[in-house]
Chain A
């Protein structure tokens, strides 16, 4: 698992790599919290290198989404989500809580 952060003019791009499960969530949660603690509430998550997201991973992202929504036009959006992961999100009824874009360029342009 690895994480990189890039600052853009209107949003922050975070790239996760590998598995998002109970083993890796604490480190990822800390990364996202450091971004929202710094007052950045427009976040693009590049998921193109993520192979698995468990419910613990979705709960971390739901909590981050809640934090982002509390601020003016804040939002967490995702890009490049693997089709299987996307389908599983819809199957368990959580697909409606995130905007999902095909690629990072489109997601960044959303803000």
Chain B
């Protein structure tokens, strides 16, 4: 199990991306899958800064990862306001350009990029987002 903590600021996103890229490479992922993990985690971290903490510099984002025989499992912790994914509307897809809006898309993206996405909140640990992705054999 590896752990790293970051200030919940947008200028931490690059370091967060580097950490999870390293984790995904360690897990044996190809370049496309490494990029997909980076994108999903960037989305999650951005949401934490914007919505859980309501702005930059108000807390920390802690990331742990473990590599199993066939998967990378990431957990992302924050102490912001509890997040309930059921409150997020399903995004409308295949819209005309003029009708596009970003509402609800972050969650949809994360679910498309990873095999498993699960949110929980505990008073002791705050928000815990667990995401995993399987290694696809070449």
Q: Residues of A with Cβ closer than 8 Å to B?
A: 19, 21-23, 52, 54-56, 59, 62, 65-66, 69, 83-85, 87-88, 91-93, 97
Contacts and interface: CB of A to CB of B under 8 A. Distances in A.
B31 A22 contact: no
Interface of B: 10-11, 13-14, 17, 31-32, 35-36, 38-39, 42-43, 46, 49-50, 93-94, 97-98, 100, 102, 105-106, 108-109, 112-113
A33 B93 CA distance: 26
27 contacts: A19-B13, A21-B13, A21-B14, A21-B17, A21-B42, A21-B46, A22-B50, A23-B11, A52-B17, A52-B35, A52-B39, A54-B39, A54-B43, A54-B46, A55-B43, A55-B105, A65-B97, A83-B32, A85-B35, A87-B35, A88-B32, A88-B113, A91-B36, A91-B113, A93-B112, A97-B97, A97-B100
B28 to A, nearest CB: 17
Contact of B112 (A84, A92, A97): A92
A62 B100 contact: yes
A91 B108 CA distance: 11
B35 A84 contact: yes
A32 to B, nearest CB: 16
B38 A52 contact: yes
Contacts of A85: 35
Contacts of B93: 93
Given A54-B43, A54-B46, A56-B46, A88 B13 contact: no
Nearest to B12: A23
Contacts of A84: 31-32, 35
A32 B67 CA distance: 41
B46 A22 contact: yes
Nearest to B21: A52
B14 A19 contact: yes
Contacts of A87: 32, 35
Contacts of B113: 88, 91-92
A41 B12 CA distance: 33
